[in-house]
Amino acid sequence: MDTDSINRDIGRRIRNHRNRNGLTQQELADRTELTKGFISQLERGQVSASVVTLMDLIECLGTTPAEFFKDEEEQVVFTEKEYFEKLDEQGNSRQWIVPTAQRFQMEPLLVVIQPHSSLEEDKPHNGEEFGYLMSGRLNLWLGDKVYHIKSGESFYYQASQKHRIENSGSRPAKFLWISTPPEF
């Protein structure tokens, strides 16, 4: 196993343990006296941690080195109790319905946007995004163009321009959202 693979594996394990504990990157950074940026880079396998830093992270994640490095059997089925949910200030919900998706090519989420609110604008990035609207109505902004999506319709786009999803309706909008590569 080369250094890049080791860094990605350690990063994935940190992210998985952090998510299981319901911690944000900032909360883990505060506990370990590291920066959020370093935690983010570490989880993506872009940097490596010293042994002392890694041991501190493992302790702050409430596990042991043996448990942390234990080989994981590839999980195929995920239950609702394993989902990781994040709520924003407006009450919008994002559920990572495959909690270990960061190590795969796609990242599926179940999203609920409250009436008359939107998700934050996403800057252009590499990748593609797909959504299927299960209930409600959405407006999808791609650059300066807006698309109106109704329940039962889907959308697909290259994420190479700024984009934003909003619910201008009077009831919550629920949709399945899949992006590649994983962003979380």
The tens digit of pLDDT for each residue in 97-113 reads 987 777 778 889 999 99
CATH class of 3-68: mainly alpha
Rounded Cα–Cα distance for residues 141 and 165 (Å)? 6
pLDDT at 5 (0 to 100): 80
Confidence of residue 69 (pLDDT cuts 50, 70, 90): confident
For domain 80-180, give the fold. Answer: Jelly Rolls (2.60.120)
Residue 63 φ then ψ, to 5°? -135, 180
On whether the pTM is more than 0.95, the answer is: no
pLDDT at 184 (0 to 100): 55
In the chain, pLDDT over 90 holds for what percent of residues? 64
Q: Where in the chain is the domain with CATH 1.10.260.40?
A: 3-68
Beta bridge partners of 177: 109, 131
Q: Where in the chain is the domain with CATH 2.60.120.10?
A: 80-180
